[in-house]
Every structure is written in C-alpha cells, then in structure tokens.
Structure 1
Amino acid sequence: MTEWIETSALVLAKCASNDPWFPNPSQAMVIAWAEIFSTSHLTREDLLAGVTRAYRTEDAGYRPLPASIVKHARAGYFESLADLPDERRESMEDAAHALMEIGIQPPDAHKYVRRIVLGRTPPFQLTTEQDTEFRDILAERQAIKSMPPKPLDVSRAFHRPTPSKASDAQP
C-alpha cells in the first residue's frame, strides 16, 4: 500500500501544480485516493499521464477526483496504442508471440510489449536467458520476413495428364 500512497501523493501534487486552487491534500485524502488507484490496475506512469490528459482535455474549472484520473489514464493509454502505425502494431504482435514461445502467458506478453512500445516501464523483467531467447526468436522472424517470397509455380496447378492411348485411360 505504501507504493500506492506515494503514487497518490504524486498525482495530487501534479494536480496542484496544474491548478493553483487545488486544495493541499490531507493524509486522509492521500490514502483515500491511494485506495482507488490500487484497484485500477494502472501504474504510476499511467496515472500521472492521466493527470496531464485530464487537465489538457477538460474544460476550465475541472475538479479532479480519483475515478476521473483513472478514466483519463485508461483513455490516454488506449489512445496512445490506437495512434501507433500498423507496422508498429504488427511488430508488437510478433514480439508478443515470441514472448509466448519462451513461456510468458499471453496476457502478460501483450502487456509487456504494449508498455515497452509506449516507452513505459514493463510489468516484469526478463531473465538474461529469456532475453537472449526472445531476441533470437525475433531475429529469426525478421530474417524470414526479409526473405523474398518463393515464386508460385502455377504451370502444373490445373494440369490433368491426358492419356496418350485409350488403354491408359481409366474406366
């Protein structure tokens, strides 16, 4: 809970830096906001980005509450993902599948890749062995993608051998 209290204090401080009329939060307020943040499944980075987004998008006179900061943090996170080019999203899928090949569960693999792509701290660190194997798999996939496609030989695709003699024909 200590981490969430620290996060809450930072979020409240950022609110105060954006709004000169924002109240100086009491310890009870810090703890109350921390309780909301702890159930949000968002990181400190996400919540601080949520404050920035809230003050950028809301009308004058906006009064933040912890739920609105969570809402803005989630919206900002998904907007950032939606703004990625298609090639970047394709490389994210490749990376997530490579992580799954080394034993990372699918939800964790996708979360790891999304956080890296968005420039945020990943939810866990790969071991040295995992990192090496992950990079090897990605390099192998890149090598396969960079190979020219094999030409398609359609000359025999619809070819039916015609019997040369009537005796070769099947009844």
Structure 2
Amino acid sequence: MTIDPIDAARAIIDNLQGNDLWFPKVGPAAVEAWADQFARAGLPIEDLLAGVNHARAHHTKVSQARADNRSEPPDPFRPTPDLIIAHAHSARREVLAQLPQERITEMEMANHLLQEMGLTPQRAHRLSRDIALSLALGRTAVHDLTDAEMAEFKARVTQAKKAAVTHRDRRRELAAMFRVTDIFSIEKAAS
C-alpha cells in the first residue's frame, strides 16, 4: 500500500508541529511543495518519519555542542524536506549496516535473482535492499513487482535456498570422502 504524498507531507508536518513548538502552521501550498519533494524521493512514510527523528537527534546533538561551546541557547530545529530526505537515507543506511551477515547474503542473492529475471541492476539492487529493510524493520515489503513477477521471484528464492543446502551437504560429503582417501593414502605410503 502506498500513501499519498500529500498525506505523507501532512504526517511529517504534524510530527514537526507536535514535537517542535516553533514549527509554524502551514498552508496547502507548503504541504503540496513538501509532498512534491517527498514523492520524488520515493521513500515510504515510515522512512520519512524515521528521517525526521534522525534529523532531530542529529540536530539536537550538534546544536547542543555548539551552544555549550558558545554559551548560547541551542538553535531551534528547522528541517526542510531535503534535510528530512537526506536523514531518511542516513537512517536506512544505519539499519542496513546493522543487518546480520545472513540477511546481507539473502539480500545479495535476491539482487542476483531479480537481475536473472530481467530487472535492471539498479532496480534489482533497490528492490532487494528495500525488501531487506522491510524485513529488518518488521514492515510489509513494498515493491513494484507484478503478481507474476513476485510469484517467480519467490519460486527462485525457494529453489536457490534448496540448491545452497544441497551444495553444502555435497561439500561435506566430498570433504569426508577426501579425508578417508587421505587416510588410505597415508597408510599406503607408510607400508
């Protein structure tokens, strides 16, 4: 489910007005301008709200440090849509950096499978990253795949996971055979 950019802008502005008392009441033109920038960013509302919180935390830390050094009151938090978008991307990168290796491996596998399905590398990378982020954050994955593409993707993931297990099992079997062969070779050379 995608949220209307106007609703996203209103949610962001409501968050700012509720948490930052200086934030002014804005008219429909300002809401539309913010919505236009958020729509171009293509980020879900959850990421934009995370961007507001990330920006607020960063601003508070930096502003307080400056204020302490200058013996002045801290600057008020005055975000713009581009700042919120930049911090939304930063928050996403931080979540990706915290992913366990297993999730990173799955994300890379998904990227390759999507490319095998004919998606461009950029689109496949974006989709695999967005799916990994959604899983990590407990959200429903938002994607632009058709139902048929999603069914094919799920089938390919299942097949790739089965192949990986079979490959691991076969490697263990071969390693055990080589160890036995090495033991026989050593015993044969010793006699």
* TM band (smaller chain): 0.7 to 0.9
SS at match of 2:4: helix
- How far residue 92 of structure 1 moved from its aligned partner, in angstroms, is 0.7
**What corresponds to 1:36 in structure 2?**
37
> TM-score normalised to the size of structure 2?
0.69
Residue in structure 1 matched with residue 95 of structure 2 by the alignment: 80
Paired AA for residue 67 in structure 1: D
SS of alignment partner, residue 174 of structure 2: coil
Tell me the residue number matched to 1:123: 143
Q: 1:42 to 1:131 in 2, by over 3 A?
A: closer
Which of 158, 161, 169 pairs up with 1:142? 161
**Higher-helix-fraction structure:** 2
Give the AA of the match of 1:47. L
Q: Structure 2: which 5+ residue stretches go unaligned? A: 61-73, 182-191
2:41 aligned counterpart, secondary structure: coil
Structure 1 unmatched runs, 5+: 156-171
Say whether the 8 Å CA contact 1:50–1:69 is kept in structure 2: yes
Distance 2:19 2:145 in 1: 33
One of 129, 152, 165 as aligned partner of 1:114: 129
| 2:174 is the alignment partner of 1:151 | yes
Q: Confirm or deny: 8 A CA contact 1:18 1:55 kept in the other structure.
A: no
Deviation digits for residues 93-143 of structure 1 (CA, Å, limit 9, x no counterpart):
11122222223322222222222222254231331x333322222222212
Map of 2:110 onto structure 1: 95
Please identify the structure whose Cα radius of gyration is greater: 1
Count, aligned residues: 154
Instruction: Calculate the TM-score normalised by the size of structure 1.
Output: 0.75
Alpha-carbon deviation of 1:73? 0.8
